[in-house]
Structure 1
Amino acid sequence: MPISTDRFENIDEEADEPTPGTNPHKILSFLEANPDQAFTQSEIAEETDVTRGSVGPTLVRLRKSGRVDHRGKYWRISDHTQSLDDAADHAGAVAASYEEEAFDYDEWQAHAVDPRQDRE
């Protein structure tokens, strides 16, 4: 099935996040919801309804892309992915807090420094 040129140009951008409903999305969503724990493949299969035969290969692909970490028989969301998610959450909260505060332009203007005053 052909795709549009616009869609073709954005393929690399779409590859960053798994499509909702896919095995990678289900597994990442589960692990992101439990960032302080690590799980076996069997536990991940039980919690995500992804078949056991698909969990292993999906986790390997996610590990190669740096999204999950693996030690022994346990898997968890990677520190890098968790850090990015935490930073995005923090940035969103900061932006939202600024939107909730009333901005008094007159007060700001009264405290603003005129750059021409520094030249005197």
Structure 2
Amino acid sequence: MTFSSEYRVQGILGLLQALLIVGGCLFTGVILKARGYPAEFSELPTQLAFVRNWGFLLILIPLGWVILTIWLERHQAAWFSKRWTVATGVGVGLALGWYVLASMARAGSSILQHVG
């Protein structure tokens, strides 16, 4: 079995997680821009400021997950199997999805008010 086919699950789930992050960060930025917030607006809530300016760093989460699950599978941890890989991958994806969805909802919220 080749390396690429053996760890296909990590590749697919990691790619989906990364696409979720990129899409969520882009949509959050678009929503903020559409609502009239300039790029240098410094009074954004911390979550929105992070996603807008540093959201690309969230890519480290799927990268870390892929590396960790491959390492655990290669070292034949008795308790870790493909089932755990899928379960943790889906869990990480859901957590990231929740975070970017909350960011997009907060960016579109009428609670944020830009004066100027």
Same fold (TM over 0.5): no
* TM category, shorter: under 0.3
TM-score normalised by length of structure 2: 0.28
- Higher strand proportion: 1
Larger Rg: 1
TM-score normalised by length of structure 1: 0.27
